[in-house]
Amino acid sequence: MNTPNSTSTYPHAPGFVAGDRPRIVTSRFEYADSYTLERFLATDGYAGLRAALARPANEIHDEVKSATVLGRGGAGFPAGTKWGLTPQGVFPRYLVVNGDESEPGTYKDRLLMERDPHQLIEGCLIACYAAGLSQCFLYIRGEMALAQERVADALNEAYAAGYVGKNILGSKFSLDIILHWGAGAYVVGEETALIESLEGNRGMPRLKPPYFPAAIGLYGQPTIVNNVETLANLPWLMLNGADAYTAIGTKTSPGTRMVAVSGHVKRPGVYEIINGVTTFRDLIFGEEYCGGIRNGNKLKAFVPGGGSAPWFTEDQLDVPFEGQQAGAAGSMLGSGAVMVMDETTDIPAAALTLTRFYAHESCGKCTPCREGGTWLERILSRIVDGKGTDADLAQLVEVGTSICPGDFPHASSTRLGLDAVPFPYKMNTICFVGPSAYAPINSALVLFPEDFAARVTKRSMIPVTAVRAES
Amino acid sequence: MARLSEENVRLAKEVIARYPRARSAMIPLLHLAQEQDGYVTNEAMAHIGDLVGATSAEVYGTASFYEMFKFEPVGKYLINICGTMSCALMGAEDLMHHAEHRLGVKLGGTTDDGLFTLERAECQAACTEAPCLQVNYRYRFRVTAADFDALVDDLKAGNLTDEVPAHGIVARVRQQIPVDRGVGAVPPEDVTEAPTWMAEKAAL
């Protein structure tokens, strides 16, 4: 395999930037025909499956467990542990692949589906074999037409060639993978909402407990919901083993992960980075990554883990991509999406673009989110339009507190002499959409109070009698 | 207008058979209906209800949750401009203003000739290529005002018909499961045992 120089980009994969780093899931991106079965087979394709099928299923499960493959969808829960949560002796069990990628700032699953659909299919097969899952539903976001076409073509090729369907590779292992696509609803990325949608319903998250669909999921059966990138790691893991996997990154965050860095940086792109050790400073300022802020401007703030994540500033640049450290610093790594704002950014307006997103995407099930999200959007719009008052600022906090009681997590700030409030938050809603509507507002208010103070009119009391101005 | 055509009913039955429960095919069939007519008609929703064993109200209940399903005709080309953070930081608002002026409609509107519908969209997963838009779910990256004008001109002139199908068609490739290769879906109540390969030392 050729070694791409540190900042290679490929015209056939817009957005992706290669580098001199281990590449577990993006190893085929340099080929223009990376999505074909022919290219896949020429580059170790389906060899991981063959290796897995040559061993007992429980051994494969153990291998994934010992590699600590963290879920790449947002919560970072280890896949092997998740598979183990299915109740003993209850069948059938299903695999639902979460390809409903819609978190603001995030895109890696789309690239993995467009550029290497066979790798994903191979990952699905390995997961189903290891965890005894008897049917797989591959749920792709509705708006991703090219990903749907590439996965459909790949599945058709794989069925015809005997990699999917009855008696795979001539073995006792049989599995159907059903391509399914959504129709536009962010909340469906939440795993119980995804299952509702797959059952033909409105995509609203289910009440918890049970906390994991591994206990009660699709059609009331044990169901594993895994993210696309998580599954894409499995073929490499089967070929190279858990020791090789954990040799990359750190003990708590092994392997690599894909991160999209967008906004005001010189070279925005999707990078496969080493988990656990790469810091935000490396990523935003490193020459082999984004190369710093555009036009030589200063960094103002960045969103470290998708639109739902509380913001960081330059004080947190040395935090690595490691869940616990990011949590202690007041945010989360989420879905691997960094959005960078430079000093020219209108902070209230930037927060509004995210709050509007979550208000728009609320499914309407929980009152604090359905009502609160819209309130937050309206109040913040008023402030951005220059018509807000200082009472509006207090109102934002009050509405936010009704969604998330207690202290909302935020980063520390040397400039303001603030300590961090660690992640996570308490919440009055079933899922994370409601808190996510408040996260950008809380970050903006706490870290940049002066940007709001300059925007609102001070009005400490409401006049009760009309006072005629003296001429 | 329009229940599902005979050919689409054949496809629908093929899709329904892939799921342990027919109702799971609801969203795929709604896409099929929208593909047929450009939007989802009341007749099609009643028909889908018959096919999957749901009332037409239940079908509408599901369909109305999802952004992509339209219940009235929209333009042949639906242009969705992303307005979420990364795109907004890179000038999405200006692009939306330009698009409104170029097409002579507000966001949410359809041009008089029925060719274009313009919408504000939420994050489209192309954040590093901001600002971005989708026309009938086909991407355009780092779109400038001039790019937008060229896109509109090309669509009007019919230069992009190979790449951009009419509204309603999302993926142009359908999954095909050969009869002799498919395992087949079984209702969950008919399965109680672990899959056969779990009992083996190894599958191969």
Kindly identify which residue of chain B lies nearest to residue A161, measuring between CA atoms.
Answer: B181
- Percent over 90 (pLDDT), chain A: 94
The CATH class given to the B6-63 domain equals mainly alpha
Strand ranges inside A267-334, DSSP E? 269-274, 299-303
* Superfamily for the B77-157 domain: Glutaredoxin (3.40.30.10)
Do B65 and A132 count as a contact with CB atoms less than 8 A apart?
Answer: no
Q: A390-408 burial, b for 16+ CB within 10 Å, e for fewer?
A: ebbbebbeebbbbbbeeeb
Q: Domain extents for chain B? A: 6-63, 77-157
What average pLDDT does range A164-191 have in this prediction?
97
* Superfamily for the A37-246 domain: NADH-ubiquinone oxidoreductase 51kDa subunit (3.40.50.11540)
Do B21 and A199 count as a contact with CB atoms less than 8 A apart?
Answer: yes
pLDDT of residue B204: 85
Q: Which residues of B are less than 8 Å from A14 in CB distance?
A: 129, 141
Tell which phi-psi region holds residue A310, choosing left (phi > 0), alpha (psi between -120 and 50) or beta: beta
Angstrom distance (rounded) from CA A222 to CA A91: 7
Q: Which residues of B are less than 8 Å from A91 in CB distance?
A: 191-195
The backbone torsions φ and ψ at residue A326, rounded to the nearest 5 degrees and listed phi first, read -65, -40
Q: Which amino acid is at A54?
A: A
- Helix or strand or coil: residue A142? coil
Q: A27-44 burial, b for 16+ CB within 10 Å, e for fewer?
A: bbbbbeebbbbebbeebb
CATH placement of domain A1-20+251-342 = 3.10.20.600
pLDDT band, very low/low/confident/very high, at A2 (cuts 50, 70, 90): very low
H runs (alpha helix) in A220-366: 228-232, 234-246, 280-285, 323-328, 347-361
Q: Which residues of B are less than 8 Å from A350 in CB distance?
A: 85, 88-89
Instruction: State yes or no: pLDDT of A138 exceeds 70.
Output: yes
Mutation choice for B interface testing from A199, A258, A264 by most B CBs within 10 A: A199
Q: Which residues of B are less than 8 Å from A50 in CB distance?
A: 204
Do A199 and B176 count as a contact with CB atoms less than 8 A apart?
Answer: no
Distance from CA of B128 to the nearest CA of A (A): 4
Distance from CA of A114 to the nearest CA of B (A): 12
Per-residue pLDDT tens for A53-82?
999 999 999 999 999 999 999 989 999 999
Q: Which residues of A are less than 8 Å from B185 in CB distance?
A: 135, 176, 178
pLDDT of residue A71: 96
Angstrom distance (rounded) from CA A388 to CA A391: 8
If chain B, 204 residues long, is cut into consecutive pieces of 10 residues, what is the mean pLDDT of each piece?
A: 93 98 98 98 98 98 98 98 98 98 98 98 97 98 98 97 97 97 97 91 87
Do A264 and B52 count as a contact with CB atoms less than 8 A apart?
Answer: no
Per-residue pLDDT tens for A21-50?
999 999 999 999 999 999 999 999 999 999
Do B61 and A202 count as a contact with CB atoms less than 8 A apart?
Answer: yes
Pairing of strands A337-342, B138-140: unpaired
pLDDT of residue A1: 41
H runs (alpha helix) in A91-232: 109-115, 117-131, 145-161, 191-198, 228-232
CATH placement of domain A346-459 = 1.20.1440.230
Per-residue pLDDT tens for A86-100?
999 999 999 999 999
Contact A202, B61 (CB under 8 A): yes
Per-residue pLDDT tens for A348-400?
999 999 999 999 999 999 999 999 999 999 999 999 999 999 999 999 999 99
Pairing of strands A135-140, A94-99: parallel
Tell which phi-psi region holds residue B137, choosing left (phi > 0), alpha (psi between -120 and 50) or beta: left
pLDDT band, very low/low/confident/very high, at A458 (cuts 50, 70, 90): confident
Q: Domain extents for chain A? A: 1-20+251-342, 37-246, 346-459
Q: What is the mean pLDDT of chain A?
A: 95
pLDDT of residue B200: 81
